[in-house]
């Protein structure tokens, strides 16, 4: 076998959730723990650094905000598919997470009185998006890693591309991966695993995601026997920069930015007059697509017609102090200064509401495997996530899973050795991928998959388009078996990694589209033209997708936890 290394705990993914869990584990054990932190990129290049606008928390109860109001906003925003016990736990935990980061030295933006500043965000009834200018995720990551450095109890595995999560006899055994700089195969064993590897938004071509975010952890967990939950709910953010897809933070609208069509109208008045630009993301994205489809957009490149995000009335001081990154990105990428001209935007693939099924503590159906952050579905967001709840989820369930793993470790058995059968199966799969022959091109296939998802599984969906997409995904999978790996080098073989990522994306695409085709209703981010209304009688339930080796996924369902608010019509 290859080089085999053992830790007490492995954390797959080094973004906000992974780092927060590592800090919690280190704190609770006073540094007397052996943690391995695994990242496919350099550790501080995790996609969490791209989070911009804020992190939601109730900090102003004396001024009209409340935990109950945050919980209600999140449940209503989820189109009543969120598990309400999870929402309550999140909203109660968030103020402490903000205070911890403050204590650890994060440079929160301050108001004139010196208090931590908060801005309005879509779907929230109160300005509770806590901000560090428009680089909130970047500063949260820096702060957590700085805190982690106080403890000398972890080892970094940077640029280690994990190919398999191995579960044997209902128990996690090992991660198997390829060390990109050397090409060596590495086996990592541990008593416990936390999967915190992020979402799968690069299923789409027009996306806010870093190109490295390919849903690897979700796909590997799925193939290892863990169900994926609610994968049909993929969020489209209303403001992706055209033509790149780079995120124009919701903070732009939180600071007072306008959305305008080619007639100069603030068109949200027709769709959510009570909230205008600060409606929930699913509603604003549908409104934008309606404007574009009805011809009230501006002609854009490659069919990407766009609308305007207008910040010009905010003035230079607000933009330079509250949205400096947005100005920098617009000038660098589209040669537009938002102080002077509006920004070209359209809805863009942004966030996976679904993920690896967990319980309220982040524990999966495998008793020594937890999941947290965007890779997980603890069912906080339901059918539609409110902006600024995602970074908060990473912090809260990073902390929860860190605590739960620390509690469980004394009773967990010692790390098991990877069986020869699992090792041979893993090596046979890699050998088969490396030995592919034919005339197909991996890079063409990935572009085709992403174009297919853009065109047929977008903001608006129809059964016939979803069926066509499903057939297309399966055809691309068949063609991928005839796409050779041209690069034979050992070091930094991105050609091989690209093939493995494509396999992961195809698994997630099939699950996403199957769930969307089966769900014959419109709820949150899943908007069916042929089933235009929400159907609580038939579809107030979570989708579970199970991997069936050699066959198509198996869909199952489970109930939504409703302990406070019954579903009502969703108006803003």
Closest by CA to 162, choosing from 201, 209, 199, 214, is: 214
Quick one: tokens of 453? 């998802």
Nearest-angstrom CA–CA distance, 28 and 10 = 16
Is residue 262 within 8 A of residue 312, CB to CB? The reply is no
Nearest-angstrom CA–CA distance, 84 and 72 = 9
| DSSP conformation letters of 477-492 | HHHHTT-------STT
Phi, psi of 235, rounded to the nearest 5 degrees: -80, 135
Phi, psi of 162, rounded to the nearest 5 degrees: -80, 130
Active-site entry in 89, 253, 385, 547: 253
Quick one: tokens of 265? 């109208």
Closest by CA to 14, choosing from 114, 181, 162, is: 162
Nearest-angstrom CA–CA distance, 261 and 425 = 55
Told to judge if 45 belongs to the known catalytic residues of this protein, a careful annotator would answer: no
Active-site entry in 70, 237, 281, 350: 237
What DSSP designation does 201 have?
G
| DSSP conformation letters of 102-152 | HHHT----B-TTSPBPEE--TT-SS--EE-STT-HHHHHHHHHHHHHTT--
**348 class by beta-carbon count within 10 Å (0-12 exposed, 13-18 middle, 19+ buried):** buried
Q: Count Cβ atoms below 10 Å from residue 315 Cβ, excluding itself.
A: 10
Helix/strand/coil for 457: coil
Nearest-5° angle of CA 237, CA 131, CA 288?
Answer: 20
Quick one: tokens of 412? 């967990």
Nearest-5° angle of CA 408, CA 414, CA 37?
Answer: 70
What DSSP designation does 571 have?
-
Closest by CA to 284, choosing from 296, 269, 306, is: 269
Helix/strand/coil for 320: helix
Closest by CA to 192, choosing from 361, 22, 491, 405, is: 405
Residue whose tokens read 């995602």: 390
Nearest-angstrom CA–CA distance, 352 and 540 = 19
Helices (H) and strands (E) in the chain, counts: 15, 21
Told to judge if 477 belongs to the known catalytic residues of this protein, a careful annotator would answer: no
Nearest-5° angle of CA 230, CA 159, CA 104?
Answer: 75
Helix/strand/coil for 235: strand
What DSSP designation does 266 have?
-
- Please give the positions annotated as active site: 237, 253
């Amino acid at each position: 076998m290859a080089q085999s290394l053992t830790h007490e705990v492995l954390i797959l993914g080094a973004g906000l959730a992974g780092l927060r869990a590592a800090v919690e584990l280190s704190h609770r054990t006073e540094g007397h723990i052996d943690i391995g932190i695994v990242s496919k990129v350099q550790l501080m290049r995790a996609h969490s650094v791209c989070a911009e606008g804020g992190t939601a928390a109730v900090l102003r109860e004396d001024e009209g905000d409340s935990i109950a109001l945050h919980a209600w906003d999140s449940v209503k925003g989820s189109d009543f598919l969120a598990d309400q016990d999870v929402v309550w736990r999140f909203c109660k935990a968030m103020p402490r997470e903000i205070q911890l980061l403050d204590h650890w030295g994060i440079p929160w933006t301050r108001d004139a009185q010196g208090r931590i500043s908060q801005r309005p965000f879509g779907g929230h009834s109160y300005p509770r998006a806590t901000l560090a200018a428009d680089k909130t995720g970047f500063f949260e990551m820096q702060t957590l890693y700085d805190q982690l450095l106080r403890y000398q109890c972890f080892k970094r595995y940077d640029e280690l591309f994990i190919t398999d999560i191995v579960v044997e006899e209902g128990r996690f055994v090992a991660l198997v991966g390829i060390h990109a700089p050397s090409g060596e195969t590495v086996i990592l064993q541990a008593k416990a695993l936390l999967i915190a590897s992020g979402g799968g938004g690069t299923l789409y071509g027009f996306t806010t995601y870093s190109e490295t975010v390919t849903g690897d952890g979700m796909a590997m967990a799925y193939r290892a026997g863990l169900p994926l939950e609610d994968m049909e709910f993929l969020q489209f953010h209303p403001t992706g920069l055209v033509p790149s897809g780079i995120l124009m933070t919701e903070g732009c609208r939180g600071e007072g930015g306008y959305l305008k069509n080619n007639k100069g109208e603030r068109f949200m008045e027709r769709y959510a007059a009570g909230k205008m630009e600060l409606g929930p993301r699913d509603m604003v994205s549908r409104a934008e697509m309606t404007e574009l489809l009805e011809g009230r957009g501006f002609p854009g490149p490659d069919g990407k017609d766009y609308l305007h995000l207008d910040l010009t009335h905010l003035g230079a001081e607000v933009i330079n102090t509250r949205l400096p990154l947005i100005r920098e990105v617009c000038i660098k990428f589209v040669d537009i200064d938002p102080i002077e001209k509006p920004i070209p935007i359209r809805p863009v693939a942004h966030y996976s509401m679904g993920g690896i099924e967990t319980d309220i503590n982040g524990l999966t159906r495998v008793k020594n495997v937890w999941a947290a952050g965007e890779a997980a579905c603890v069912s906080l967001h339901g059918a539609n996530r409110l902006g600024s709840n995602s970074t908060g989820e990473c912090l809260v369930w990073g902390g929860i899973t860190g605590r739960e793993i620390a509690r469980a470790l004394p009773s967990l058995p010692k790390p098991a050795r990877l069986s020869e059968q699992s090792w041979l199966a893993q090596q046979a799969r890699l050998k088969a991928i490396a030995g592919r022959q034919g005339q197909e091109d991996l890079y063409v296939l990935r572009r085709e998959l992403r174009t297919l998802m853009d065109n047929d599984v977008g903001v608006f969906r129809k059964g016939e388009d979803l069926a066509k997409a499903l057939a297309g995904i399966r055809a691309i999978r068949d063609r991928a078996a005839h796409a050779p790996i041209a690069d034979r080098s050992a070091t930094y073989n991105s050609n091989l990694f690209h093939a493995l990522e494509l396999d992961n994306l195809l698994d997630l695409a099939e699950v996403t589209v199957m769930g969307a085709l089966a769900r014959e209703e419109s709820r949150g981010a899943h908007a069916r033209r042929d089933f235009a209304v929400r159907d609580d009688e038939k579809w107030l339930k979570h989708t579970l997708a199970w991997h069936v080796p050699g066959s198509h996924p198996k869909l199952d369902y489970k109930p939504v936890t409703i302990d406070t608010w019954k579903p009502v019509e969703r108006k803003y």
